Every structure is written in C-alpha cells, then in structure tokens.
Structure 1
Amino acid sequence: MIRTVTSTLALGLAVASPAAADLAGQPFDYEVDGTVFEGYVARNTDLPETEGTVLIVHDWDGLTAYEKQRADMLAAQGYTAVAIDVYGKTNRPTNMEENQARSGALYADRDLFRARLSGSLAAAQELDGVGNDIILMGYCFGGAATLEAARAGMDIDGFVSFHGGLGTPEGQDYSMTTAPVLLLHGTADPVSGPADLAQVVGEMLDAGVEHDAQLFGGARHSFTVWGSRDYDLAADTGSWDALMGFLDAQL
C-alpha cells in the first residue's frame, strides 16, 4: 500500500526521553574479515527484556552523533538499538569528497557491502540485550544499505528505508527477500524520485515481497536530518511514527 501524507500530527521525538529511563549507550568494537569496526549500542537496562532489536545503518558520512541519538530514542521506547559501522573504525570520512569515496567504494563492490552488513548483524547478535527479533533500518545511504540487505536475503524480521537510494543494481532483485519492507520517502526527493519509487515497488510486487510505502508530500531528500536544508518536521515526525508502528507489528 502506498500512502501519501501531506501533514501529520507531531510525534514528540522526546517521548519517553532518556531522562525518564535508565538508558545505557556505549560504543563497541567488532571485526569483519579482519577489519575493525566501531558500533554503538543503547538499551534501557531497567527492562528485564527489551521489545526487540533495531539495527541502524549510518548515512554516507559514517556513524555519527546522529545515529547514536536515534539509537537512544529507540532505547527510550524499550528497544535495544545498535548503530552499526560499514566503513571501519579508522576509515571515517571527514569531508564531502571522502563521504562520496567511502560510500562509492561499497556501491562498487556489492559483495563487500553485503559481507559488512551481515558481519555487523552477526556482531550485534553477540551483544547483551539482542535477541532473535531484529529489524534493520537506515537513513539516506543507510536506507540504500537496508535495501541491499533485503535483496541479499538477510534473515531478519523487516527492513525500513528512510529517504534511501531506491535503485536496484543490475543483476539484483528481491527474489531472496523474505521479510516485510517499509519505504519512507519524500515526493520531492531529487536523489530517488517518484519514478524510482514506482520501479522498486513494482519489483517487490513481482517478487511477492510484503511491502508498504509512506510518502510525504513536498519533502525532499534528507527530511529527517536535523539542521539539513531539507529538514521537514512533519515528514520527520510522521516517518518516526510509521517506524514505531512497523516495529510494533513486526517485533
């Protein structure tokens, strides 16, 4: 189902704020094929068990305070949140040119991209508070990474892309995807526009993949990124609300 949303009730992103719960957030190191990565895990240690686990793939500028804050927000809602790293602990970009180079290297080597996603999942599964119920989500580059994992058939409970790159690389499809996919996208996105959305939805239909898409009228590319020129409060809060509904249904 595709829903077009032009306005939404504001969802307080500070609901169940970290001050109201005993939240623990900390970095952790892990290895994938000999490369060291640094992720971040957050959860409410007051809970005997969490509501499930959400993995967050970072944007093209690497794992930053943004993904960590989103992880803290999820922990405040009762989830174990793990922000993963697909670049490497000593390979963090520091400028736009390096952002493009780091993300471009993974787009050019899909086997490496998938190995780092699956290796990060395996590392997350070793952490305290992480069970078998897992959702993968990501913003922008991370949204594209989430769809890469879906096409790779990653064995988890669902995939959520926030304004991600929607194009399917040549030779790939969604025939191996076994969990639901949620697309959260702006109708004015200049990176992946309505035609790309229609294309990927058609591919999922052809593959029999359970999917949903929520559109935000007039929202541009990075509508959830605080401080971005594309930031859109209604789209940000509306997409977060959609994520909460998806997590409630799938975990």
Structure 2
Amino acid sequence: MKTRGMLALLGLIWGAAAQAGVVRYQVDGQPFEGYYLAAADKQAPLVVVVHDWDGLTEYEVKRAEMLVGLGYSVFAVDLFGAGVRPTEVEERKRLTGALYQDRAKMRKLLQEGLAEAGRQGGRLDNAVAIGYCFGGAAVLELARSGASLKGIVSVHGGLTTPQGQDYQQAKGRLLIQHGSADEAVSLTDLATLIGELEAAGVNHEATSYSGAPHAFSVLGGANYRADADAKSWLRFTEFLGEVTKG
C-alpha cells in the first residue's frame, strides 16, 4: 500500500516521463494500461512486475526503472483496467476481491499481460515474474497455472492456496520474501506454503525478515523498512542472475 505523500511525489515522475512507457492493450475488448521499458540489449532477460492493490502506479514504475538500470527489460502488467487506480480501501478490496473470487479471470489477465510483454519485445523464454502484496498472491496463481517462467517471486504477498489448487504444474524456481511481523499474512501461512512446495517438488527458497511488517518494501509507505527492503532487493537481483540466461 502506498501513502498519499509517496503517490504525490512519484506522480511527478509518472506525469513527466513515464507516459513514454505506457502500453495500451485489450483483454476481451476491455482496455488495460501496462508499462514497458526495454533494456539496451534486446536479448536481455525480461522481468514482469505485478502491482499491489493500488493498481499499477508510480511505485511499479520506479521498480521498473531500477531493473532497467540493471540491464533487464521490464513489463508491468495491469490487472484492474485502464485508468482504474483505486485510492480508497473499500474500492481496493472490491477490485482484488473480485479477482480472488474469479481465479480463471485472474489467470487470463496475467497470461494476457505476459503475451503483451512478448509483443513489446520482451523475451518470454527468459523471464521472471515478481509481485508485491496482492501482486505477490497473483504471481503464485501464475505459478500454479504452469506458466513457463524461469522464476517467480512473491514479496510480502498473500500465500494461501485456493481450495482445489496445488503446485504440481509449477515450473521454474520460486522465491518467497515475507515479513516476520506481517499481521496480514501469518508465519503459519508461510510454513504451509513451504510444505506444499516441498511436497510438489518445486525448487523454492523462502526468507522471513525480522521485524518487517506487511508491505515492508513499499518505498515511502508507512510500513517501509529500509533494512528488509535492501536485503530482499539484493536477494532478488541475485536470484535474477541465477535463473535467467544472459
């Protein structure tokens, strides 16, 4: 979750420069707006970023810029629709709740986002997906769908597996980054997920950061913890180097 102050500050970035990276696409006739930045090397690995319950905003743009600076191409998907960027808690709950209740739609939006990343020039054969909070839960849905990705990373995301689903079709490696002080997602949820991944034979790694609450990596947010964010970002970038080619 992003604070109003952070949104106002980063809004200058979005308004002045980010529009150059905005990608408009459609899913079932409905408009969506993603964000794409290409690395100088057209053969660079691709990172797909999935937003939290605020929608695709300046936070994801900032992370995309950080990743391009490391030599990756980046596509931030839009799961809510063009112009839908909720600022009120009830609206955020409504939008995310609708997708939690319709997992088939969530998967389709994610898959169409991947397809659009490919149309923009991103290398889907050498890609990793990362999601934050709601997006962290969404990328685990992507993993269970059997998406052909080199890696999937959930950062302070929802970790529970919907009834009737499992990780038998998951491909690539999974990296789970969790805050030990997260009051929204429990350590029991983390332990349960680890057990599921182990039972399914999924190559995985899970880290819990001491004292870190939910949304610990959200720059400028009320729950931001610089130490946990620095550690999780470092491990994430190391992970990218391990699972991607080139």
TM-score normalized with structure 2 length = 0.88
Task: Indicate whether 1:68 and 2:61 are aligned.
Answer: yes
Aligned match of 2:119: 126
Task: Indicate whether 1:159 and 2:156 are aligned.
Answer: no
Aligned match of 1:241: 234
Aligned match of 2:91: 98
Alpha-carbon distance in 2 for matches of 1:52, 1:84 = 16
Aligned match of 2:102: 109
- CA offsets, 1:44-76, max 9 Å, x none? 3xx333530000000001000000110010000
Alpha-carbon distance in 2 for matches of 1:129, 1:106 = 26
Contact 1:50 1:79 in 2 (8 A): no
- Comparing both structures, which one devotes a greater share of its residues to helix? 2
In the alignment, structure 1 segments of 5+ residues that lack a partner are 1-22
Matched length:
227
Contact 2:57 2:85 in 1 (8 A): no
In structure 2, do the counterparts of structure 1 residues 129 and 116 end up closer, same or farther at CA, with 3 Å as the change threshold? closer
In structure 2, do the counterparts of structure 1 residues 24 and 89 end up closer, same or farther at CA, with 3 Å as the change threshold? closer
- Aligned match of 2:42 in 26, 49, 73? 49
Contact 2:41 2:71 in 1 (8 A): no
- CA offsets, 1:195-216, max 9 Å, x none? 0000000000010000001221
Contact 2:74 2:122 in 1 (8 A): no
Contact 1:60 1:141 in 2 (8 A): yes
Partner of 2:21, secondary structure, is strand
Pairwise CA RMSD of aligned residues? 1.6
Give the letter for the 1:38 counterpart: E
Alpha-carbon distance in 1 for matches of 2:134, 2:87 = 16
Alpha-carbon distance in 1 for matches of 2:173, 2:227 = 24
Q: Which moved more, 1:222-231 or 1:191-200?
A: 222-231
Partner of 1:48, secondary structure, is coil
Displacement of 1:38 in angstroms is: 0.2
Alpha-carbon distance in 2 for matches of 1:73, 1:115 = 27
RCO comparison, higher one (Cα < 8 Å, 6+) = 1
Give the letter for the 1:42 counterpart: L
Give the letter for the 1:193 counterpart: S
Partner of 2:119, secondary structure, is coil
Aligned match of 2:6: none
Displacement of 1:187 in angstroms is: 0.8
Aligned match of 1:32: 27
Contact 1:134 1:157 in 2 (8 A): yes
In structure 2, do the counterparts of structure 1 residues 137 and 48 end up closer, same or farther at CA, with 3 Å as the change threshold? closer
TM-score normalized with structure 1 length = 0.87
Alpha-carbon distance in 1 for matches of 2:150, 2:183 = 30
Contact 1:137 1:159 in 2 (8 A): yes
